[in-house]
Structures are given as C-alpha cells and as structure tokens.
C-alpha cells in the first residue's frame, strides 16, 4: 500500500468518520422515533434530517469522485451512489434501523476506497457540476478535504441537537482516536 502524509491523513479521517458514526449511532439507537424525527429548528430540521443530508451528500460526493476523475476505484463500483436527487434534503431512509445500516455500508465503502488510493491520485482533477449546475474542477485532495470536513460539521450539529434533548454524546475530538492513529504518526 502506497503511503504519504496526506494520504495517511485521509485514511485516518475515513477511520475517524466510521468511529464517530459508530459511537453516534449507538447513542441514536436509544432515541424514540419521535426524537429521531423531531423538528428542532436545525437547517435540515431534525436529527434524522441532518444525518440524512450527510448520507445523501456523501453519496453524491462519492459519485463525483467515482465518475469525475480518470481513475477507476473498485470500492466505488458497487457503492450506493446518488446520481439524481431533487434537493439536498431528499429523504433516503425514513426509519432509523435501515438508515443506520445504510450509513455503515457507505462508511465501509469510504474506508475501502481510501485504501485503494495512491499518493499521486490526490492531485488528479475532479470534474463535475455542483448542485446549482456550475461546472467545478479541482484536485481530489481538495474535494476530500471538503468531504471529511462536511461530515464533521454535520455530526457536530447532531451532537448539539442531542444535547438539547438531554443526551450527552461525549468527546468527539479526532485525538480521541489516538490509539488507532498512533501507528500513523
């Protein structure tokens, strides 16, 4: 497996994404359906709406990465990618159990994809149209930086909503994964 500090960083962020989601969804499994769906005034309404947007966004970005570069990635060939949608709030899975399962499937595809990347692929150009129909063209590393930052951003919103419901998610810092990361640093 080829490695570089930047590639190691993205691989760790993929692991962090899975780790954080596993912890988050374990807590979410204790919520009532009403709490999961309750509109709490967040940008995407509810905990479900926020995490739904995140899963939808991840699958849109994975499609961009799979089709917008000259590289072929076996981990993305059979991944559940989003090619068509009406809005960034389209509901993918209304019920929690199915939603959690689909989140795991996508997280696994992300980690497998990161293991396929070579350092030189990070400079490949990603070409796509954004949700407003504007053509975009940037490096893969730039897109990956947004991809992982977007995940952290929306998970933080969900932890705030959980706090408002009286649930303590605990620490979410990347450094909480030190035992996993120490082999890389």
Confidence of residue 85 (pLDDT cuts 50, 70, 90): confident
Beta partners for residue 125, in sequence order:
139
> How deeply is 79 buried, as exposed, middle or buried, from its count of CB atoms within 10 A (0-12, 13-18, 19+)?
buried
**What pTM did the predictor assign?**
0.92
Average pLDDT across the chain, whole number: 92
Mind listing the domains of the chain with CATH numbers?
5-181 (1.20.120.450)
Q: Dihedral angle at the C-alpha atoms of 14, 19, 23, 25, nearest 10 degrees?
A: 40
């Amino acid at each position: 497996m080829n490695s570089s500090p930047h590639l190691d960083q993205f691989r760790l962020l993929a692991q962090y994404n899975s780790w954080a989601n596993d912890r988050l969804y374990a807590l979410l499994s204790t919520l009532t359906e009403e709490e999961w769906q309750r509109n709490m005034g967040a940008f995407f309404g509810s905990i479900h709406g926020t995490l739904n947007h995140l899963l939808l966004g991840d699958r849109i970005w994975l499609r961009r990465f799979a089709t917008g570069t000259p590289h072929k990635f076996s981990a993305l060939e059979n991944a559940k990618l989003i090619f068509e949608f009406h809005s960034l709030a389209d509901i993918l899975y209304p019920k929690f159990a199915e939603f959690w399962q689909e989140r795991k499937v996508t997280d696994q595809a992300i980690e497998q994809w990161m293991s396929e990347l070579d350092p030189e692929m990070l400079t490949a150009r990603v070409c796509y149209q954004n949700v407003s129909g504007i053509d975009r063209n940037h490096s893969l590393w730039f897109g990956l930086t947004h991809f992982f930052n977007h995940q952290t951003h929306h998970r933080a919103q969900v932890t705030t909503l959980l706090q408002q419901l009286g649930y303590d998610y605990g620490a979410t810092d990347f450094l909480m994964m030190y035992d996993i990361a120490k082999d890389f640093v």
